[in-house]
Structure 1
Amino acid sequence: MAEIRTSHLFTLKLVVNGMQPIGETPGGNRRVGLVAGGTFEGPRLRGTVLPGGADWIIGRPDGVTTLDVRLVLETHDKATIGMTYRGLRHGPADVMAKVNGGEWVDPALYYFRTVIAFETAAPQYAWLNKAIALGTGSRPPEGPVYDVFEVL
């Protein structure tokens, strides 16, 4: 296979409700973003993000922000799906200062990508247990937004 094909799974919008700072660790500046909820919608599944997820963020000395996120999605038909992803966000210092300051910045001006896995016991979504997904992100003031694509 010469190229990677994908199919849009859904758009995920998260609501973050505060940060728990841990501080300068050997790996960088660690903080934990608390996910209060959100929504996801796409052609094959839609629903809400349950409260209680978290993003274990590291601000590295080289200016890269690493993400390590665990969420629980609840579909419109009440199935629950575990979603985990790791990612990177970085760009020119002036652009990232605006993003980190809560300003809207055109996502084309910075790099924000994730690698995603799912876990569910719901038979109608069991296909997610066998899928890898990729995400492209943006960070508007109201919270992170991801377009999630299944790798075919």
Structure 2
Amino acid sequence: MTAPIADPVLEHAFDVVVELGEPELHGATRAGTRRVVPIIGGRITGGVEADILPGGADWQIIRADGALDLDARYSARTAGGELLLLRARGVRAGMEGPFHTALEVETSSPALSRLQDRVFVASAVRDTNLVRYRAFHVR
């Protein structure tokens, strides 16, 4: 007999505010129209407390229909010096700011290693110079 498939349950994990620099339009590439949005800072709060470090970016593809394929990668550091790498991938369609992403977390910190073994999804909003999202652990 096979086990039943359980419906996923979402549990709030942390909140994120990502500060954005000026978008850089790279133009038409073999992948599509490429735009890179620098990540210049921000903050993670809730189940994890960390400052987002400058130097990351959101490598976007602008589709012919105007939707954006998002691929953001950035680092954060806790007050204790522990480093996190976050990767958020998703699609933002239409002119509205709300969208959803899937998140991955990578770290060498034993105290935060549990984050590497979880699946996260997020509800996000794009403001003028910010992206805000709430991340949820899927269990």
1:141, 1:37 → 2: CA distance?
Answer: 15
1:10, 1:134 → 2: CA distance?
Answer: 11
Write the mapping of 1:25-44 to structure 2, written as runs, cut at 5 A. 25-42=29-46, 44=47
How many corresponding residue pairs?
135
More helix by share: 1
How far does residue 10 in structure 1 lie from its aligned partner after superposition? 1.1
1:9, 1:73 → 2: CA distance?
Answer: 16
TM-score, normalised to structure 2, is: 0.90
How far does residue 116 in structure 1 lie from its aligned partner after superposition? 0.8
Name the structure 2 match of 1:120: 107
2:118, 2:76 → 1: CA distance?
Answer: 16
Ranges in structure 1 where 5+ consecutive residues have no aligned partner: 100-104
The one-letter code of the counterpart of 2:53 is: L
More strand by share: 2
Name the structure 2 match of 1:18: 22
Equivalent pair of 1:72/1:82 in contact (CA under 8 Å) = yes
The one-letter code of the counterpart of 2:112 is: Y
**SS at the partner of 2:137?**
strand
2:31, 2:120 → 1: CA distance?
Answer: 26
Name the structure 2 match of 1:9: 13
Name the structure 1 match of 2:83: 80
Name the structure 2 match of 1:143: 130
The one-letter code of the counterpart of 2:31 is: G
Equivalent pair of 1:64/1:90 in contact (CA under 8 Å) = yes
The one-letter code of the counterpart of 1:39 is: R
Stretches (4+) displaced over 6 A: none
